[in-house]
């Protein structure tokens, strides 16, 4: 097989597939689920991605995504700060966006193996062998875009899998009374919750919590009432909104540990290369940007302009210079959140010092590409 194999069809995988196919590279994408499906994600995408998405015909214009350009931060006890977001973002559900990108990629000739889980990826004699639950495929190149945590990380013996991660994520779609151009981030003990608008007048309510909160209160509803409701903003959102799912989407073991962009010659993109803390609202922008740079280098390699060694060195250098600092900053800023004292400090800093507020926002946001 001379097709590049992409393992995992989230944003990094779907954008890479679209861009590579557009550049004339044959692509097979293997995804363990089938579209459309919901994911735990705040669904706010930084506007830094718009020039690239538009230039490649991948901006989901037809869903009229709302523009978001103000940011509200509240502390555990409900003290609030409001700031403009210079760059801003737009809102769209992953259910809609991923399905849109999947349809585009199919039209561009990408082969999809859906409901297919990759079990192992091995590299030998300049070829990869990709084993799924159904077959084995060989390929000259693999892009690993299988997200923050996959069984593949175990089979690849990636070091971050040796540590358990204490964070869980929960997401709802709701209808509520909230300004369309505002993204809010509400702290609660050992967690924080984002609220922002997506398509069709709906809103995404999504939070990250330490698993101790869940352990202590037994179930999600009891935890929300006992912990999240201490923040009056959250109490009001939970009590005065229409919840559109029967149950929330939930994921566990979210890790922000450092990873590497290349693992046994597999080119990692998106969360598989490193996950930025959700409060930065930028994981999707990073996934899209990584998809852009990896695809451009893969095209060069497939055209015979780069050796494998050059490909790997170039990708690693580019990835590190673009993302390593942002991932680090996200981890540091996350320390200010989820605690009474530090979340009040963060809110006070944002209320009283415009330069500090701007610095925090700048550190976590990129520039347009």
Q: Kindly report the three-state secondary structure assignment for every residue of 332-349.
A: HHHCCCCCHHHHHHHHHH
Does 208 participate in binding ligand FAD (rule CB under 6 A)? Answer: yes
Does 8 participate in binding ligand FAD (rule CB under 6 A)? Answer: yes
Does 174 participate in binding ligand FAD (rule CB under 6 A)? Answer: no
- Interface residue with ligand FAD among 21, 58, 214, 284 (CB under 6 A) is 284
Q: How far is the CB of 236 from ligand FAD (least distance, A)?
A: 21
In eight-state DSSP terms, residue 42 is -
Does 43 participate in binding ligand FAD (rule CB under 6 A)? Answer: yes
Among positions 150-169, residues that touch ligand FAD (CB under 6 A) are: 150-152, 169
Does 285 participate in binding ligand FAD (rule CB under 6 A)? Answer: yes
Token pair 């159904």 is found at: 134
46: nearest Cα among 318, 269, 337, 326: 326
Contact yes or no for 60/95 (Cβ under 8 A): no
Torsion angle, CA of 62/66/67/72, rounded to 10 degrees?
-160
Does 278 participate in binding ligand FAD (rule CB under 6 A)? Answer: yes
For helices 283-302 and 11-22, angle between their N-to-C axes, nearest 10 degrees? 30
Does 147 participate in binding ligand FAD (rule CB under 6 A)? Answer: yes
Phi first, then psi: what are they for 85, rounded to 5°? -105, 110
- Interface residue with ligand FAD among 287, 298, 329, 357 (CB under 6 A) is 287
Q: Token pair for residue 120? A: 């192992």
Does 282 participate in binding ligand FAD (rule CB under 6 A)? Answer: yes
Does 11 participate in binding ligand FAD (rule CB under 6 A)? Answer: yes
**Strand locations in the chain (E):** 4-7, 27-30, 44-46, 67-74, 80-91, 111-113, 118-124, 127-132, 136-139, 142-144, 167-175, 182-188, 191-197, 203-210, 242-243, 249-254, 262-263, 266-268
Does 338 participate in binding ligand FAD (rule CB under 6 A)? Answer: no
Does 283 participate in binding ligand FAD (rule CB under 6 A)? Answer: yes
Q: Token pair for residue 280? A: 């930065």
- Interface residue with ligand FAD among 5, 18, 21, 42 (CB under 6 A) is 42
Site string for ligand FAD, 227-266 (x = CB under 6 A): ---------------------------x------------
* Size of residue set near ligand FAD by CB under 6 A: 41
- Interface residue with ligand FAD among 4, 6, 17, 40 (CB under 6 A) is 40
- Classify the C-alpha dihedral 106-281-205-177 as positive or negative: negative
- Interface residue with ligand FAD among 4, 17, 21, 45 (CB under 6 A) is 45
Positions touching ligand FAD (CB under 6 A) are: 7-13, 30-33, 40-45, 117-118, 145-147, 150-152, 169, 194, 206, 208, 254, 270-272, 275, 278, 281-285, 287
């Amino acid at each position: 097989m001379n097709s590049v194999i992409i393992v995992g069809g989230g944003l990094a995988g779907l954008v890479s597939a679209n861009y590579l196919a557009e550049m004339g590279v044959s692509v097979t994408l293997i995804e363990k689920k089938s579209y459309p499906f919901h994911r735990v994600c705040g669904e706010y995408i930084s506007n830094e991605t718009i020039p690239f998405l538009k230039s490649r015909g991948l901006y989901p214009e037809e869903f009229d995504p709302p523009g978001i350009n103000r940011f509200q931060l509240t502390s555990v006890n409900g003290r609030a700060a409001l700031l403009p977001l210079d760059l801003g973002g737009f809102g769209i559900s992953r259910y809609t966006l991923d399905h849109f990108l999947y349809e585009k990629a199919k039209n561009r000739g990408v082969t999809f193996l859906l409901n297919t889980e990759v079990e192992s990826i091995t590299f030998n004699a300049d070829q990869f062998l990709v084993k799924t639950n159904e077959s084995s495929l060989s390929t000259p190149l693999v892009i690993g875009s299988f997200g923050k945590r996959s069984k593949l990380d175990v089979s690849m013996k990636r070091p971050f899998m040796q540590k358990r991660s204490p964070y869980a994520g929960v997401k709802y779609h709701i209808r509520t009374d909230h300004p369309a151009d505002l993204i809010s981030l509400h702290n609660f003990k050992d967690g924080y919750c984002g609220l922002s608008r997506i398509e069709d007048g709906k809103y995404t309510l999504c939070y990250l919590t330490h698993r101790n909160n869940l352990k202590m209160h037994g179930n999600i509803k009891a935890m929300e009432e006992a912990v999240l409701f201490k923040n009056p903003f959250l109490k009001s959102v939970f009590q005065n909104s229409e919840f559109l799912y029967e149950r929330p989407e939930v994921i566990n073991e979210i890790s922000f540990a450092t990873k590497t962009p290349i693992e046994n010659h597999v080119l990692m993109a998106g969360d598989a290369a490193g996950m930025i803390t959700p409060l930065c609202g930028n994981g999707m922008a990073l996934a899209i940007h990584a998809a852009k740079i990896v695809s451009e280098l893969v095209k060069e390699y497939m055209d015979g302009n780069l050796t494998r060694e050059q490909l790997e060195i170039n990708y690693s250098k580019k990835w590190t210079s673009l993302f390593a600092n942002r991932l680090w900053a996200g981890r540091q800023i996350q320390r200010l959140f989820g605690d009474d004292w530090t979340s009040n400090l963060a809110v006070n800093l944002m209320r009283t010092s415009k330069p500090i507020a701007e610095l925090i926002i700048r550190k976590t946001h990129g520039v347009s590409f």
